[in-house]
A = this chain, B = another copy of it.
Amino acid sequence: MLSEDLIVRRRRVLRGLRQYYDLPFHPIRGEGCWLYDVEGRKVLDAYNNVPHVGHCHPHVVEAICRQVRELNTNTRYLFEPIVEYAEKLVATMPDGLDACIFTCTGSEANDLAWRLASNFSGNTGVITSENAYHGNTTFLDQIDGSSTKARRENPNWWIRVPAPPARQSGDAREDKVAAVAYAGQCASAVAELIGRGHPPAAFYFESLFCTDGIRVPRPGFMGEAISKVREVGGLIIVDEVQAGLARCGTDWWAFQNLGVEPDIVVMGKPMGNGLPVGVVVARHEIVDAFYARDRYFNTFAGNPVCCAAGIAVLEVIEREQLKLNALRIGTLLKRKIEGLMERHPNIGGVRGRGLLLGIELVIDQSTMTPASRQARWVINEMCRRGVLVGLTGPDRNARNILKVRPPLVFDEHAVDVFMTTLDAVLADLPSRLE
């Protein structure tokens, strides 16, 4: 009843702001990877990467409360937290990625990355992957491959290349063939953009291609494709908003798994455990060239409170060994899901790395036809039974991949709850869905 009234009020003032599930989910408290709803239900959060080290983590809460009591101001003055935070972030990066510009969101960071790349390269074209989503600004909306809205026309300075294959054969020769084909597609895109008078300033991609249904290219797979872009002066912008910050379990950043050396790295969601924090990390030549000709000031970005939250998140990841946990628990979860495939022909496979997994739902394992309606039913039913999980690709017309991207404090008990619920929901999946 409380929720019903709130829905009416919400619709009146927030209009078309959608809810994720068909039934309203009304949380009032969070702790670790658990949320408690208004009816007292305990719900497992297997979806949100924003509460990265766990909902309301006490160390982060304390850091925020300490700083908000002391000082919060803009970065035109001198203070310690932004410098400390930037240094700590750069320390997680490969050599050369040594300069930061803070923003408040991943969208702002991807938008700023474009200003950096076009300034540095002098070029005007963009390449993205087929179903890429990099944010909500006017510029990023123009290169939104995940949108199904009717457009008058796409800008002629934007071109898309297919994402790397979702499934790999495991055979080295076949993989090599796929990499060569992928590089060929990138080379064609570069040539096409040049033909249109817009050589690429940037090739944007998510390290694990989340909006393309989660794909994990083998190390080196992207190398040849990337060099096609670099040959004409284009920069490589890697979007780590979803996959980054120790989530993949082996490194701090997902791109490190791919053997990719980006020019610009973009981060957002998980950084402040819920406070708005985004950042662009780039080679300092790129940042210096930008500041030499242009300016960027963002009033809230890099403020002491958001930076205190960001530093605390990094500390928790270290102290609680959450990178290792992501690897250990993610591997366990993946194996258990694979184990379920025998009993549930609707599971076509599971892919991903660490605590970023995609469970592919299909009509059956032989045809591998995407089961999009079934996937929508499954996430709603899982929410109803107390587990939050998301939905993604493989493309904007077929969203049949369950996206599992929980807080990094996911543990064995959470895995058990997740598996029991998934098993039961799939068992109840209606054979026909309207």
Contacts and interface: CB of A to CB of B under 8 A. Distances in A.
Interface string A144-166: 00010110000000000000000
A301 B275 CA distance: 10
A277 B305 CA distance: 14
Contacts of A290: 16
Contacts of A68: 56, 61, 64-65, 274
Given A30-B71, A298-B105, A83 B10 contact: yes
A86 interface: yes
Interface stretch (A18-26, A226-234, A424-432): A18-26
Contact of A74 (B48, B275, B301): B48
B100 A14 contact: yes
Contact of A71 (B14, B55, B108, B149): B55
Nearest to A28: B71
Q: Indicate the size class of the contact surface on chain A.
A: 35 or more
Contacts of A98: 12-13
Given A77-B20, A87-B13, A276-B276, A70 B99 contact: no
Contacts of A104: 104-105, 108, 276, 300
A25 to B, nearest CB: 5
Contacts of A35: 71, 73
Interface in A287-344: 287-288, 290-303, 305-306
Contacts of A75: 14, 17
Contacts of A1: none
B15 A288 contact: yes
Interface stretch (A134-142, A191-199, A258-266): A134-142
Given A293-B149, A299-B269, A76 B288 contact: no
B19 A99 contact: no
Given A68-B65, A105-B298, A83 B25 contact: no
Contact of A6 (B15, B83, B137): B83
A77 B13 contact: no
A14 B297 CA distance: 12
A76 B16 CA distance: 11
Contact of A292 (B16, B48, B303): B16
A381 interface: no
Nearest to A274: B72
B15 A284 contact: yes
A29 interface: yes
Given A50-B299, A56-B70, A276-B300, A79 B138 contact: no
Contact of A30 (B6, B72, B288): B72
- How many copies the complex holds: the figure is 2
Interface string A41-74: 0000000101100011000010011001111111
Given A14-B86, A288-B15, A297 B71 contact: no
A212 to B, nearest CB: 18
Contacts of A284: 15
A106 interface: yes
A27 interface: yes
B71 A50 contact: no
A17 B106 contact: no
Contact of A56 (B20, B48, B69, B287): B69
A284 B273 CA distance: 32
Contacts of A298: 105, 107, 136
Contacts of A297: 18, 136
B30 A73 contact: yes
Contacts of A299: 50, 105-106, 268-269
A287 to B, nearest CB: 5
A15 B268 contact: no
9 contacts: A15-B288, A26-B78, A35-B73, A56-B69, A104-B105, A112-B136, A136-B297, A136-B298, A276-B306
